[in-house]
Structures are given as structure tokens and as C-alpha cells.
Amino acid sequence: MTEQVSSGAEAPVVSVRNLEVKLKRRSNVISAVNGISFDLKRGECLTVIGESGSGKSVMLRSLMGLLPSNAQITGEIKVDGHDVLRAGKQELMRLRGESVAMIFQEPSTALDPVFTIGDQIIETLIRHEGMSHKAASKRALELLELVAIPSAARRLKNYSHEISGGMRQRCVIALALACNPKVLLADEPTTALDATVQIQLLLLLRRLQSELNMAVIFVTHDMGVAAEISDKVAVMYAGRFVETGTTEDILLSPRQPYTQGLLNSTLHAGMRGQVLQGIKGAPPNLAELPAGCAFAPRCAFSDEGCLSWTPDATALGGSHYAACRRLADLPEFKPVR
């Protein structure tokens, strides 16, 4: 699903065209990403919403060239002017850290347990920016203060097991920001955190994004997270974007049946006493994708034609696109309130 880049506006910092990723294994081939295209400008936040088995993590990792060697990738990925799929090792190493950085779900595994937090940030700065140790130490302190860690000077000397989960995730963010990346990729960074910590981190990311004018791609399964931080949302199912648009488009007036099903499954206040609608069935096996629309077997509105025809994106006005053959026949969506 591509969007028109308005003339005269800034070129997008991330540009993906027809990305397809297949993971070859001994007995089968997993079609993790099946044709994804999008643009992202600096200062914009895109949230990719998908459940398990949607291919969202694979898609995110392909943007940094982090896929295993058994991955067959076609299409085009341009990040900050670099052609990621054709970049050599050196270029990729420069790209990671300077142009794009990633934060993961488990902060405890992102930090090396035998080095202090300060050491890890300083090492990155010396390596990538060529700073002196003194300058790097000063910058490390600034970074920890940027992510609102209290007593930052003391934290620099802590090891990762000495600090709490929320603090760790902030340190991971500080580490990721060390080299002023233009793009930040986040793979479910708040899923493992408590609610009170999650909201702090979401607000932090929102602030950092606007202060540093970073582009952010946030992968999550939580609609609430998307509502809080993103400008644009893409809903991913079986390796494709089934609906894209602004956050308001997707959360307030979704048109694709899967998106609607997801919203109806999301619990919120006032749903007490109602039978939950959910979505029947389970996500498809990415090694055995059906022909036609991947959601059709579970869709309440699908017909014969849906099983043999993979829908393209239909423009719905503005930047709102939905991939569904039967858009015109769908009843009006009444969100559960």
C-alpha cells in the first residue's frame, strides 16, 4: 500500500516497496512478509499492529538487515538514503546505530550483564562517533537524563541486574539514541512491562520522537498503545498490510473486517456483561498460506470469491486504505461501547 509523497515535501526517511521475505527451512518455506510497501517521514510514528504469526517482527528486522541467512528477501528497502538490501557489511554496520536503531521486548537481554550501563553507552559512542572517552562520558550522562532516569550519574555505574525493568528499558532507549538515529524501530518494547511503567515509557517515546524529530516504527498487538503514540497505523495480517491510515482512521472508523474484529476483541470499560465477539479460528500457518485473502476463512463476511482473490488496497479517502474485496457490501461498523 503506497501513499503519495506530496510534492515539495521532505523525502521519506524510510521507503519500502513490495517487500517479500521468505524463510527457508528444512521441510518448508515460511512466507513471513508478502508484499509490503510504505513510506515514513522524519518525525512520524507508524504503529504496526499485528498478532502472533503476522510477520511483524520479521518485517521490522528486515529494515535493519537483521534477518538470518536462510531468508530470501525481494523488494526494496531504503533507509536514510541507504539501500538496505544491497548494502555491504560495512555499510550495514554504519547504518545500524547512525541511521536506524532498534529496541526489543526484553530489556534484560539487550544489555550486556558484565558491563556497566555507562560502559556500554560509552563504547557505542567511541566506536560510532569517534568520540574521546571524556566526551563520550559526558554524552552518556546527557542521554540518561534525556530518557528521564533519576540519579543519572549513579546509574552509569550500575549493572543491568541492579536496576528495575522500567529503568532498564530506558537505558536501552538511551543506548539506541546514542548515535542520533533518524529512525527508531521498536519491537513490542512495553509488552513485558507493568501498566504504570508502560504509560511512562510511552509518554517518553512520544516526547523523544518530537524533540529529536525521529521517525518511529512501533510494533505491537495493543490498540491502546497505538492510540497513545502513533500518527499512522498499519494493521498486519499474514504478512500483508490489510488496512493503513491515520490513527483516527483505524481506531475510530476501521473498514477491514480483521481490523474491526481486533477492535471488538479489545476489552475496555463498559463491556461488562456482553459476550465478546472475538474472531473465530486461529491465524494461518505462514508455511501454508491459502490462496486468495488470508483472512477469508475466518471472516464473517467472506464469500466464494474471497477465497481465490487476493485483494489490493482500495483508497478510502485521505491516507486511509483497506484491502478487502467486499468493502462496499460490509455493514456499517458499530464499535462495541
Partner 1 sequence: MSVVSATASKASASQPRFPVLRRLLPETPTVIAMIALLLIVLMAVFAPWITTGEPYQGSALARLKPIGTPGHWLGTDEIGRDMWTRLAYGGRLSLIAGIAPVVLALIIGGGLGLYAGYAGGRANTIIMRVMDVFYAFPSVLLAVAVGAMAGSGLLNTVATLTIVFVPPFVRVTESVSTRIRHMDFIEAARATGIPTWRIILHHMLGNVAGPIVVYATSYASISLILSAGLSFLGLGVPPPAAEWGQMLNSLRQSIYIQPWLSALPGFMIFVTSMSLNVISDGLRNALDLKKQM
Partner 2 sequence: MSNTGTMQKLLDVQGLTKHFTIRGGILNRVEGAVKAVDGVSFSVNKGEILGIVGESGCGKSTLARLLMGLITPDSGTVTIGGQEMKMRGRSLVDLRRRMQMVFQDSHASFNPQRTILDAIAYAPRVHGKSKQQAEAEARDLLTRVGLQADRFAERYPMELSGGQRQRVNIARALALQPEILILDESVSALDKSVEAQILNLLQQLKAEFGLTYLFISHDLNVIEYLSDSVLVMYLGQVVERGPVQDVYSNPTHPYTKALLASKPSLDPRKRTTAAPIAGDPPSPINPPSGCRFRTRCLHAEAICGKRAPKLTAVGTEAHQVACLMNEPGSGHSKAAA
Q: Where along the sequence are the contacts to partner 1 (CB under 8 A)? A: 23, 25-27, 30, 32, 52-53, 55, 57-58, 188, 281-288, 297
- Beta carbon nearer to partner 1, 99 or 105: 105
Interface pattern 35-54 for partner 2 (x via CB under 8 A): ----------------xx--
**How many residues are listed for the chain in this entry?**
337
Indicate which of partner 2, partner 1, none lies near residue 213 (CB less than 5 to 8 Å, by partner kind): none
Kind of pairing, strands 100-103 and 14-24? unpaired
- Which CB sits closer to partner 1, 32 or 185? 32
300 binds partner 2 (CB under 8 A): no
What is the footprint of partner 2 within residues 152-191 (CB under 8 A)? 164-167
Window 92 to 151, contacts with partner 2 (CB under 8 A): 150
- The amino acid sitting at 293 is C
Reduce the DSSP state of residue 216 to 3 states and report it. strand
Query: By C-beta, is 110 or 167 nearer to partner 2?
Result: 167
Residues forming beta bridges with residue 101, ordered by sequence position: 184
The rounded Cα 304 to chain-centroid distance in angstroms is 33
String of contacts with partner 2 for each residue 214-233, x by CB under 8 A:
-------xxxxxxxx-x---
| 210 interacts with, out of partner 1, partner 2, none, CB within 5 to 8 A per kind | none
Using CA atoms, how far apart are residues 22 and 67, in angstroms rounded to an integer? Answer: 10
Distance CA(324)–CA(314), nearest Å, equals 8
Q: β-strands 321-322, 240-246: how paired? A: antiparallel
Separation of alpha carbons 104 and 314, rounded Å: 33
- For the chain, the 3-state helix, strand and coil shares in percent, each to the nearest 5, are 35, 20, 40
- Give helix 133-146 / helix 117-129 axis angle, nearest 10°: 120
Question: Residues in the site for partner 2, rule: CB under 8 A?
Answer: 51-52, 150, 164-167, 194-200, 202-203, 221-228, 230, 247-248, 251-252, 261-262, 264-269, 271-272, 275-280, 282-283
